[in-house]
Structure formats: structure tokens, C-alpha cells
Structure 1
Amino acid sequence: MSELSAPQTIEELLDRMLEVSDGLPKRLKQCADYVAANPDRIAVSTVAEMAEGAGVKPSAFMRFCQVLGFSGFSQMQRLFRDSYAQNWPDYPTRLEKLRESGAGSASALLAEFIEAGRLSLESLAKTIDPDTLDASIRALSQANMVHIVGLRRAFSVAAYFAYAFEKMNVPTMIHDHVGRLDNRHAIRKGDAVIAITFAPYTPETVELAEAARAAGAEVIAITDAIASPLRPITPLMLTVTEADFGDFRSLSATLSLAVALVVAVGASVP
């Protein structure tokens, strides 16, 4: 059974689990039952966390992945992360959908995006965890240096953080990967990193956050969902769900959160 090719879609994975479940040993059957009941956990959990949830040892969960045809847990996890990222169409597809829907004039589009922004802000007010927000502000206020990484759609947020912290005399470094330069070795213990990424998640941002945590720096994640790959890296995760119109997501709530963090940190630093 380990010679099977790996499933290429989540549907294929679930079908294979049904095929093999009756013949699985007890521990591997526990793994199958846990995965079937908690598919949303796979993209954001470590193999140790999945094994704990299933009530087995990590080695048993690894064996379960191999029985399904994967080389290991990382390959199975990649399937779920890739599937999550594919939920968002590319920009030409989004524009074509808007044309087909007859979205109307520019003023009508503006009204729709204003409404999406309003919904995003209301959601942020209801879902932000005050304790995590306070802990994030403390970590940033006490940091020797604040490193910021946010690429693609998140770059404007990262640029705002860098600009505002500089104006408040907070030592800051933005990691923008210009020229494909990798400055992760500038991160030291006692520093803090703000990592910003949204689905489809940017691998460079996740990798920098992982390197920062390994270096002993605090990591503050600004991301959008439980499926974010930043979740296993840090408990300081500030989730922002942006409403969309025509599959275009604004940054209204994310930028409001950024302003709040900057002002709070600026007020805390002597």
C-alpha cells in the first residue's frame, strides 16, 4: 500500500481513506478518523499536534500518511495548503466575473468596496482577541529591533509599518526581498518580527517567520484564517478577515489594525 502514488486532490485523499479504513490497525484507524473529522487542522498543524489529536504517537501518524501514498506528513499537508490557496482565482478571472455580472459604474463599484470595508471592520471589532493584541504590543515595545515582512498584497501594510515606526523613532527593518536579498540573519534574539500574509500565502514570509522563531525573536503574525501556515509558528496571531467583492479583497481592516499597533507601540516606547 505504501507504493501507491500520492493523492492529487483532497477528494482523492478522502476516497483513499474510505478504501483502506476497514483494514487499518487500531492506531492508524484513529488517525483516519481524526483527519476525516478535522481536515481544517492539517494545513496549520505539526505532525506532533495531529498525532496528539488522534491519540497516537507521531511515528504512527507518519505511518498513516505513508499508507495513503504520501512520503510523509509534509507532502500531505502541502496538498491541503495548495488546495486552500487555489480557492482564490487570478486577477483576469476576477475581472471577467465582474464584467459578466454587470457590476456597473465606478461609483457603484466604490459603494460595493465601501460596504466590504465596513463589513471587514465590523468583523475585526468582534473577533480580535484583546489579550493577544496586548501581548503583541508588549513584544513590539520591548524589542531591540522590529523586523517587518509582507509581500505581494501584504506589501502595502508592511510599508506602512516601516514608515510609521520610523517616524516614531522605533528601530525598524523591512524585509522586501528586493534583488532577492535574504536578510534573515539580521534577526537576533530580543528582536520582534511582524509577519503579514494572506491566502494564497507567501512562502518567503512563512520561511522568514520560521527563521525568526528559531533565532529566538518574537513573531507577531497578521493573517486571515485558521488555515494560515503562520499558526504553528507563533501564539501571537492576529487574524483579520477581509470581506470581498468580486473576489477582490480590501485591506481596510488590516490597515486599521496596523494603525492601532503602531500608535500603541509608539505610546509605549519612551
Structure 2
Amino acid sequence: MKHSLVKNIQEHYHGMSASHKKIAEYLLDHYDKAVFLTAKELGQTLGVSEATVIRFAVALNYKGYPELQQALQDMVKNKITTVERLRLALLDGQTNLPHKALSTDISNIQLTMEEVTSADFEKAVNEIIQARNIYIVSLRSATALGYFLHFYLQLLLQNSRLIHGVGTFFEEIRPAGPGDLVIGISFPRYTRQTVEGLKYARENGARVLAITDSLTSPLAPYSHHVLTARSQQISFIDSFAAPLSLINALILAVGARDSAKTADVLRQMEAVWESYRVYHSE
């Protein structure tokens, strides 16, 4: 596993040239600005050439500047606060926000489609279907994603539990063990209790599936399977369009695996919904 950018710089710093040290110090001190700069823009900011910036990246054992920039993004998304996100968004301008937000969502979905493999997706579906009980851990803003997944898995499989974690987190997840599946959902800035919950569940013998933004997520080391969905934001609010689309696909796949059973469940529920007038009708 590659070192973090900070550790990478620390290990190479004493052997760097003066211009490379200048770049390193700027990245560490002004990561919130550097993350948005191209190699050329970073060079212009520091008064060095674009080639020098690229050589700096290679000296740190990255394949090029794009890979270094990805490492910088991984560092930033774990440190940057909502206030800093808002400040950066305001620096980028407030014009045409609907277009920017929707374009970011579209890009996140497209990148997620490219990155999620059929093999990984099928393994996740198999884990869900084979589980004795399913525990869904999704806290803070990710609660909405977890509730959506729980609603439909409980409808289809009737073995899903949503962990709320309001003062009773470990009491709720404690029963998860061999034969059970814990699904953790968290995106930057990752919720500490979600990470701890997955670690606890795995040590307890449960299977663990993470739905997060990358394989470098702190959820990954404690998971048997990881599904990634992009969540890049343009301001202080995370974009959950791609994660929700991925979860929607999981639900559809689970329902399609035994379509006859799914149809029977839906017929039964339609009768209940109609009898108790759950939905509005003219």
C-alpha cells in the first residue's frame, strides 16, 4: 500500500533540491489551494517550471503529476472542513450553481459506472442474499443512503436492521456475527463510529461490505468487499447521486435474483397498501 502524501514527502524531504523543497512545503502548507491546481498552475504559483513540478511527482515515486494530485485529493478530503469547502466554492464563483451541481453529479455517476466491476458488484449481491441478518451502518449525512437501502432490503428479504447509533451503537451491532452481513456506508469526512463498527463486526466473525468513495477509505481494511462510488462535491454538501445510484442498482439486482419471490412480496404489499390506503388516490 502506498504511503500518504505527507509521509512520502517527509521520507524524501532531506534529499530534495531547493525547488522540490519549495513545492513540498507549499503542498503541505496550502493543500486546500494546491488540490485545484494543474502542474502548470502550481509551477507558476511557485515560480518554477511545469517540468520541475512533474519531476517532483516522479521523485516521490508517482507515475506523474495526476497520480500525485490524486494523493493530494485523498489527503484533502479527510482534512477539509465544511467551512473550508464553502470558502473554496465561493472562490470558484456562485454563478450557474444548478448547472455546476448537476454536472458534478453526472460526472460522479459516469466515473462510478467505469470503476465498479461486474465481478465486485455480483460478489456484493451474493453477500446480501446469503446473509442470515443484515446490519446497515450509515451515520450522519449517510443516514439517508442507509435508510433507502434498509427500506427495500427489509421489504424484499425481511432481515435488515438499520443501526441508528444514538447512544446504543455497539449494543445494536453486538449481535452481528458469523452468517451475518454488516454493510457500512460512509464518505469523506468518514464517520469514526462507522469505521469502529466495521472493525468490531469483522472481529466478531461477520461478513463486511463497504460502500464508500475509494479503496483508500478507512472502511476498506475491515471489509471483505468494497464498492466505490464517487462523491466529489462543489461546496459544503457531499454529492450522493452516484452512491444512491449504486445502492439502487444493488436493490434491483437483489430483487431480480429471485423474481418470482419478489413479485409475490410486492403483490402481498400492494394488497396491504390498498387496504390501508397508504398512498394517495383520487
**TM-score band, normalised by shorter chain:** 0.5 to 0.7
Give 3-state SS (helix, strand or coil) of 1:229's partner: coil
Deviation per residue, 1:26-53 (Å, 9 max, x gap): xxxxxxxxxx648xxxxxxxxxxxxxxx
> In the alignment, which residue of structure 2 is the partner of 1:95?
86
* Unaligned runs of at least 5 residues, structure 1: 1-8, 20-35, 39-79
- Corresponding residue for 1:170? 158
Q: State the secondary structure of the residue aligned to 1:167.
A: helix
Instruction: Please report how far the alpha carbon of residue 201 of structure 1 lies from its aligned counterpart in structure 2 after TM superposition.
Output: 1.9
The 1-side partners of 2:15 and 2:220 are apart by: 29
Output one character per residue of 1:172-205: Cα deviation in whole Å (capped at 9) or x when no partner. 1111211344222120211111111122222211
**2-structure distance, mates of 1:194, 1:14:** 36
Q: Distance in 2 between matches of 1:12 and 1:118?
A: 34
> For residue 257 of structure 1, what is the aligned residue in structure 2?
246
Residue correspondence of structure 1 range 187-202 to structure 2 within 5 A: 187-202=176-191
- Normalising by structure 2, what TM-score? 0.63
- Which residue of structure 1 lines up, in the alignment, with residue 134 of structure 2? 146
1:137 pairs, out of 109, 122, 125, with 125
Of 99, 106, 121, the residue aligned with 1:118 is 106
Percent identity, aligned pairs only, is 25
Judge conservation of contact 2:187–2:231 (CA < 8 Å) in 1.
no
Q: Does the 8 Å contact 1:197/1:223 carry over to 2?
A: yes
Task: Tell me the residue number matched to 1:109.
Answer: 97
Residues 97/184 of structure 1: CA separation in 2 closer, same or farther (3 Å cut): same
* Contact 1:116/1:245 (<8 A) preserved: yes
| Secondary structure at 1:250 match in 2 | coil
TM-score (norm 1): 0.65
The 1:217/1:181 distance shift into structure 2, 3 A limit, reads: closer
Q: Distance in 2 between matches of 1:127 and 1:86?
A: 19
**1:78-120 CA distance string (max 9 Å, x none):** xx9xx8366553223333333344313xxx2121111011101
Gap change, CA 1:261 and 1:232, over 3 Å in 2: same
- 1:230 aligned partner: 219
Cross-structure match for 2:10? 13
Kept in 2: contact 1:84–1:199 (CA 8 A): no
Instruction: Answer yes or no: is the 8 Å Cα contact 1:242–1:249 preserved in 2.
Output: yes
SS for the counterpart of 1:187 is coil
How far apart in 2 are the matches of 1:223 and 1:205? 11
**Partner SS for 1:201:** coil
Residue 247 of structure 1, CA deviation: 5.7
**Corresponding residue for 1:45?**
none
2:207 touches 2:224 (CA, 8 Å); kept in 1? no
CA 18–226 in structure 1, closer or farther in 2 if over 3 Å, else same: farther
Corresponding residue SS for 1:177: coil
Question: 2:67 corresponds to which residue?
Answer: none
Determine helix, strand or coil for the equivalent of 1:255.
Answer: helix
Partner in structure 2 of residue 186 of structure 1: 175
CA distance in 2, matches of 1:131, 1:233: 20
Distance 1:125 1:114, change over 3 A: same
- C-alpha change, 1:123 and 1:216, in structure 2 (3 Å) is same
Deviation at 1:152, TM superposition (A): 2.2
Q: Relative contact order, CA 8 A, sep 6+: which one is greater?
A: 1
Structure number, greater radius of gyration? 2
